[in-house]
Structure 1
Amino acid sequence: MSNRVLITGASGFIGYHLIEAAQKEGLEVHAAVRRSSNVSHLRTLNPVFVYPELSEKNALKKLLEEGEYTYILHAAGATRAKNSQAYNAVNADCTRLLAEAALEANIPLKRFLFMSSLAALGPVPYSDEQPITESTPPMPITSYGKSKLLAEKYLEELKELPLTTIRPTAVYGPREKDLFILFKTLNKGLDAYIGTDPQRLSFVYVKDLAEVTISALLKGQNKRNVYNISDGFAYDRYALADSFKTVTGKHPRRVHLPVGVLKLAANIMELGAAFSPVAPVVNREKVNELTAPNWYCSIEAAQRELDYRPKYSLTAGIAETWQWYISNRWL
């Protein structure tokens, strides 16, 4: 099956859109999910469901050989965990095991695509005039970013792996749940910020990310590639809320919260979650990430090698996302 792709993390926000984009390109999609995952939203896409154990290499090897996969798109990962060990176990160790299984399995593998994150590089100072590029020295500021960077290093060590790495910036769109919190807050009339320092932010609409990811999967078969992905623009800290106002006609009240207060709240939430199996929504690392000065990245490599031309401006993406939230009664 020369057009068969295994997509891990298929039940997630980005996974849904990756399946949709892959099917549009004529790929036969096998969706790797947990048996406990809610996959009702995937039924209309009708992928083939498989249930890998990502921490067991022999089982992975067997599954890959049974599927005879030409492409592997590894988008599974943890975006919230209690500590660095938990992040590394899912985001780095399982990635290494899957890649090793792919190399050892008797399959016609053409491309292994790893969905990393711009967090693996980390932000740069606001004073930097040049955007973050694929060769920017990595300085991740969160355990999540460090785990993604560790996964990249593991994959780089596998010299025979036909590897492509995608590093998306903040991703938004239908079915997204983290930035959705911001939508809810704005919808309730509050436009809140941490501190007052200027920021450069970057965003990418999920459909643009999915399209360029599948393009990267199918191109550049004879070399290794890495691409930073955004919509190509730098935004100030108010841009997302301003787009929300343009789309909805609502005018939430803008307030600035002291950084110290948020850090204190994060400390309290971390202490409160110390004996809970669930990671807190906000912790000290999250505050550092939200207040980082500059996440603006270049997409020149993807434009040059993948002919990447984002279709959605921030306002257009917010409009479509807002309508989806309304139509599906999330708001």
Structure 2
Amino acid sequence: MNEKVLITGASGFIGHHLVQAALEKGYDVHAAVRPSSDIAGLKKLAADLQQTATGILNFVYPDFSSKESLLPVLEAGNYSYIIHAAGATRAKNTVEYNRVNAEYTLHLAQASLMVSVPLKRFVFMSSLAAIGPVAYTAQAPITENTVPKPVTSYGNSKLLAENYLADLKELPLTIIRPTAVFGPREKDIFILFETLSKGLDLYIGRKPQWLSFVFVKDLVGVTMSALQEEKKGRSIYNISDGQEYDRYALANLFNELSGKSPFRLHLPLGFIKLVASVLETFSMFSKTTPVLNKEKVNELTAANWYCSIEAARNGLHYEPQYNLRKGLSETLAWYKENNWL
């Protein structure tokens, strides 16, 4: 009988890839989604893998509002593992970020400790945003021991979730902190690719930056490894491809691989902050959250997101298979094949 894994946020970008990897490894996957979620892609994925994967895909619709509301789902599922990848990357305010990213995480973890069959591993998909950036001239990369200084409410909410989980001493916990994740199906960095394809290579200000990236297949691979981690208690791992890139590297590689020659333009920071402020104001009267806001500007202009992956190499035997060039080549091929670009 296959072991069961609950994957939250299954209909999202990273969640979709997690479901695929888990099915291919022979887990029976219970994909936690909202009733309104588009699950057509996951159903097609399961059908496509029917001949090669031994895992079975099921859908569940948990209510994260309390540990009591989650308990029946977890008890019925009899899960060996939970990968909590659900979360809000855009929200109207700090309260909403904290509710979805921190309180819901706590409720799920608490419920997982109440079931009759003990959980083998709880993997929480956090973010490098929970630590925040460091100075451009920093002598060392971001590590798991770097003092957290998040620059966004999103980052603060992820850090709050980590702190909540740390209080549950009996929880067999692995925290994964990916840097900027890209790959097939990703929609946020994709906005940059769309802009480049249309002939514009835009930057905020002229200050230098160090950036880091991770291809989604590497992130998913190390997450699968985390399920089998035997260490008791809590482990934390920062995840990237292990390299640092200057602020122009992504666009330069895109242009090289696509044959495009967009016009490079540096927009004044003050102007972008004004635009972000206007978008935030208008969003108060809308149900949607703008892609750009004042906090996002802080994140986009941060000086240094380079992180060490030595802990993951030692603890999870993580060895990235994709650098930015290789991952971007595969990503662009998928976008073109699926008519995104």
TM-score after normalising by structure 2: 0.95
Task: Give the Cα–Cα distance (whole angstroms) in 2 for the partners of residues 221 and 113 of structure 1.
Answer: 13
Task: Give the Cα–Cα distance (whole angstroms) in 2 for the partners of residues 221 and 40 of structure 1.
Answer: 37
Q: What whole-Å deviation, never above 9, does each CA across 1:271-296 have from its counterpart, x for those lacking one?
A: 11112222111110001100000000
Task: Give the Cα–Cα distance (whole angstroms) in 2 for the partners of residues 15 and 297 of structure 1.
Answer: 23
AA partner of residue 130 (structure 1): A
Give yes or no for contact 2:210–2:306 (8 Å, CA) kept in 1.
Answer: yes
Quote the offset at 1:218 in angstroms. Answer: 1.4
Q: Which residue does 1:129 correspond to in 2? A: 139
Q: What whole-Å deviation, never above 9, does each CA across 1:247-284 have from its counterpart, x for those lacking one?
A: 11111111101000000101111111112222111110
Gaps of 5+ in 1: none
Give yes or no for contact 1:30–1:48 (8 Å, CA) kept in 2.
Answer: yes
Secondary structure class of the residue paired with 1:52: coil
| 1:7-86 superposed matches below 5 A | 7-46=7-46, 47-86=57-96
Secondary structure class of the residue paired with 2:210: coil
| 1:46-195 superposed matches below 5 A | 46=46, 47-195=57-205
Q: Does 1:287 align with 2:269?
A: no
Give yes or no for contact 1:208–1:311 (8 Å, CA) kept in 2.
Answer: yes
TM-score after normalising by structure 1: 0.98
Q: What whole-Å deviation, never above 9, does each CA across 1:200-243 have from its counterpart, x for those lacking one?
A: 00000001100101101112342421000000000000000011
Quote the offset at 1:2 in angstroms. Answer: 6.4
Secondary structure class of the residue paired with 2:45: coil
Q: Which residue does 1:251 correspond to in 2? A: 261
Task: Give the Cα–Cα distance (whole angstroms) in 2 for the partners of residues 327 and 197 of structure 1.
Answer: 36
AA partner of residue 242 (structure 1): N
Task: Give the Cα–Cα distance (whole angstroms) in 2 for the partners of residues 124 and 118 of structure 1.
Answer: 11
Task: Give the Cα–Cα distance (whole angstroms) in 2 for the partners of residues 300 and 24 of structure 1.
Answer: 27
Secondary structure class of the residue paired with 1:101: helix
Deviant stretches of 4+, over 3 Å: none
Gaps of 5+ in 2: 47-56
Give yes or no for contact 1:2–1:70 (8 Å, CA) kept in 2.
Answer: no
Secondary structure class of the residue paired with 1:323: helix
Give yes or no for contact 2:166–2:234 (8 Å, CA) kept in 1.
Answer: no
AA partner of residue 245 (structure 1): N
Task: Give the Cα–Cα distance (whole angstroms) in 2 for the partners of residues 55 and 135 of structure 1.
Answer: 32
Give yes or no for contact 1:110–1:221 (8 Å, CA) kept in 2.
Answer: no
Q: Percent identity?
A: 62
Give yes or no for contact 2:2–2:26 (8 Å, CA) kept in 1.
Answer: no
| 1:226-305 superposed matches below 5 A | 226-305=236-315
Task: Give the Cα–Cα distance (whole angstroms) in 2 for the partners of residues 39 and 65 of structure 1.
Answer: 24
